[in-house]
Structure 1
Amino acid sequence: MQILLIGAGLSGAVIGRRLAEAGHSCRIVDSRNHIGGNCHTERDAETGVMMHVYGPHIFHTDDEEVWNYVNGFTEFLPFQNRVKAQARGGVYSLPINLLTINQFFGKTMRPEEAKAFIAAQADTSITDPQTFEEQALRFVGRDLYEAFFKGYTEKQWGCSPTELPASILKRLPVRFNYDDNYFFHRFQGMPRDGYTPMIEAILDHPGITVELSTPYAAEMAAKADHVFWSGPLDGYFDYALGRLGYRTLDFERFTYQGDYQGCAVMNYGDRDVPYTRITEHKHFSPWETHEQSVCYREYSRAATPEDIPYYPIRLVEEKALLADYVAKATATERVTFVGRLGTYRYLDMDVTIREALDTADAFMNCLADGRPVPAFMSSPL
């Protein structure tokens, strides 16, 4: 079959590779001038540092098949994200762990003592947390909430934590030991040469053609037997019902001679610091040595039509509009919506790859069984 895939990020690359290996002809188009989507990495010309151009992407998963898949296309080296946070004049370890608690409260508690101490800080009058703020107050109390969550969240989401659902803070990351590894998955690492060469390797198949700097045009679909759309869901319909809400990021790049902050990620919890964090990119490749450093200050704001969409907002108004777009998409033939933008969900890289592999397999199963291919393999709702 002639398959058209919109977007040369992880979703398009993985689906394209799977289908090309099965004998289909895959044409991938992307409006950007590079592959990889927001995972794109490149060497900084000034310093030689491997840059995560659209902000850091750290690979972590419990899915052994996905881990083996990415390692089949590049070499992953060990990397653990050890985030630090500045708040109220101090530097602390994140996620909140026993060191954070003891530092913050000036204590020397053991794990059981710290558990009892935090339990006493918690607002037990909140029995069914409905908002982000209630969720935090219920489980860690006001002091830790205001130092590490409140200001950061206001900057990240542009609204009060009282307006955000408790589900955003699904699991409060608090550990009663000294483990400061930000993630808890079995497999964690970084591609030695960056993500872009990995995606190049995935796309390196005679059944795949890639066209960059090529915006989608409706006549492309007319020449295809099926379309996989990883662009914005509302964008496919020319925003006919309105625009789904996103947060975007502005990056303020600066260089430094030496080591600027001693870690890859430093969060800033205080509300009067306008940026959410500083990332120092040479620390994402600790096997390399660089005299100079490149850092990004990250500022979060509401996305405009001209911006790159990063985080779907998914509050009440957006979910209502999303339901309307899902209904519209479901009535569309020969198109499957995939990935972070196509399903209006925040997806980690491993989940994106897992869903892409499953989507390609489900597509081929539909063909084999003579069933129609659904618009969504993973429901956005």
Structure 2
Amino acid sequence: MTPSSAPAAGPAGRPLHIGMAGAGLSCAVIARELAEQGHRCTLFEKRPHVAGNCHTERDEKSQVMVHIYGPHIFHTDDDEVWALVNRYMRFMPFVNRVKATARGQVFSLPINLHTINQFFGKTFSPAEAEAFITQEQADTSIADPQSFEEQALRFIGRELYETFFRGYTLKQWEVDPKRLPAAILKRLPVRFNYNDNYFFHKHQGMPENGYTEMVEKMLDHPNIEVKLGTPLAPDALAEFDHVFWSGPVDGFYGYDLGRLPYRTLDFQRSEAEGDVQGCAVMNYCDEAVPFTRITEHKHFSPWETHAASVCYTEFSRSCGEADIPYYPVHLTEGDDLLKAYQARAAAEPGVTFVGRLGTYRYMDMDVTIRAALDTARAFLAKH
């Protein structure tokens, strides 16, 4: 018997029947790992497609591959995760070179030597730029930054912070940057060279035929059943030997303690001929501009050629009951409501909470996959 078909022992020596809420990356990875060890997995997905918020589909008119819920760019240093996604879909090279419109000019992000020289009207060398930022711009009186704003002031100074981050952050979170944790800004590097690659991971790319086809292949296994347009009701948990829940952790409990705060996104879609903005992502940093960025989706597939274009203008707002939650909101003053839900979830028998919504934390796709792999392997080790 091959490893992919050998059943793992469950109660009374039988394979387990696993229920899963959601068919995004977390549950897809876990389901495949468990299915290959002989367990039967049933995934319930309330939307009409798999892949969650990284769902992609081709626009019928332009044939552009559109990231329906906003752009998802894969980047990782995890060799195993990179090998896993390439098992189901070939990843093509893609470098995210973000531009930013601010104060009537277009700059390069993340802040790099070109940005610094352009903004300050200088011709600094790398060493000169680093000395200028660290010694003349940065607020070195802030020894231990606790907030987003303190983190920015400590490392890049007030001028760069107020130009590129303050207005954008206010639009994205609708919260004063003084109340946001410093960790949010730690993901945005400053470079004292002309490297304008937004990410620094060794593996970067896009799935050749989109994320949805990749996840569909991941779920293509005789031990996996997917029920689209069908949510998993909490009162149906008893039907399964174990449940992996990738929906909102507060939703599992019927929001009985209150709703955890999320940000959601609205997209104003537009179509045009030709090249609209010349890049995949253009941030709009001025607070007076109501949207945060415009994404031009054909640039996410640079190996393809399209005469027409599809753009999304992105607006961020507080998530309502009927909205799709995107980003969990963490504040510097603590999360008492979250702690209460997490305490209940940790003690929940027969249920494992996974993914961005189940654990209430923002995770890039590679981190999501790594967490799912680790969760699946820990579960198999116990069964």
The TM-score normalised by the length of structure 2 is: 0.94
Q: How does 1:188-267 map to 2 (within 5 A)?
A: 188-267=204-283
Structure 1 Cα separation of the partners of residues 190 and 175 of structure 2: 24
Shift of 1:131: 1.8
1:297 aligns with 2:313: yes
Q: 2:29 touches 2:372 (CA, 8 Å); kept in 1?
A: yes
Kindly, what percent of the aligned residue pairs are identical? 67
CA–CA distance in structure 1, aligned partners of residues 334 and 273 of structure 2: 44
Question: Map of 1:127-206 to 2, 5 A cutoff?
Answer: 127-170=143-186, 172-206=188-222
Once the two structures are superposed, what CA deviation does each residue of 1:290-330 show, in whole Å capped at 9, x if it has no partner?
11100000000110111100000022577211110111112
Write the distance in 1 (CA, Å) between the matches of 2:32 and 2:361.
23
Verify the 8 A CA contact 1:122 1:138 in the aligned structure 2.
yes
> In structure 2, the residue corresponding to 1:72 is in which secondary structure?
helix
Q: 1:335 aligns with which of 351, 355, 379?
A: 351
Deviation at 1:172, TM superposition (A): 4.9
Partner of 1:78: 93
**Quick check: 2:20–2:232 contact (8 Å CA) kept in 1?**
no
The equivalent position to 1:271 in structure 2, one of 264, 287, 293, is: 287
* 1:62-105 superposed Cα distances (whole Å, 9 cap, x missing partner): 00000000100111100010000000111000000000001111
**What's the CA shift string for 1:221-243, capped at 9, x where partnerless?**
12100000000000000011111
Cα distance, 1:215–1:62 mapped onto 2, change above 3 Å: same
Q: How far apart are the structure 2 equivalents of 1:358 and 1:330?
A: 17
Q: Which residue of 2 aligns with 1:46?
A: 61
* Counterpart residue identity of residue 256, structure 2: A
Count of residues paired in the alignment: 367
Contact 1:7–1:29 (8 Å) recurs in 2: yes
- Which residue number in structure 2 is paired with residue 66 of structure 1? 81
2:149 aligned with 1:96, yes or no? no
- One-letter amino acid of the structure 1 residue matched with residue 29 of structure 2: V
Q: Which amino acid aligns with 1:40?
A: H
Q: CA offset at residue 219 of structure 1?
A: 4.3
CA distance in 2, matches of 1:144, 1:45: 42
Q: Which whole-Å CA distance do the structure 2 matches of 1:146 and 1:233 have between them?
A: 35
**Aligned match for 1:116, one of 131, 139, 145:** 131
1: distance between equivalents of 2:289 and 2:59? 27
Paired residues of 1:92 and 1:100 also in contact (CA < 8 A): yes
Deviation at 1:142, TM superposition (A): 1.1
Matched, 1:8 2:23: yes
1:21 corresponds, among 31, 36, 55, to 36
Conserved in 1, the CA contact under 8 Å of 2:45 and 2:231? Answer: yes
Deviation, 1:205, is: 0.2
Q: CA deviation at 1:18?
A: 0.6
Q: Is the 8 A contact 1:279 1:297 kept in 2?
A: yes
**TM-score, length of structure 1 as denominator length:** 0.94
In the alignment, the residues of structure 1 paired with residue 198 and residue 276 of structure 2 have an alpha-carbon distance, to the nearest angstrom, of: 21
- 5+ long unaligned stretches in structure 1: 368-381
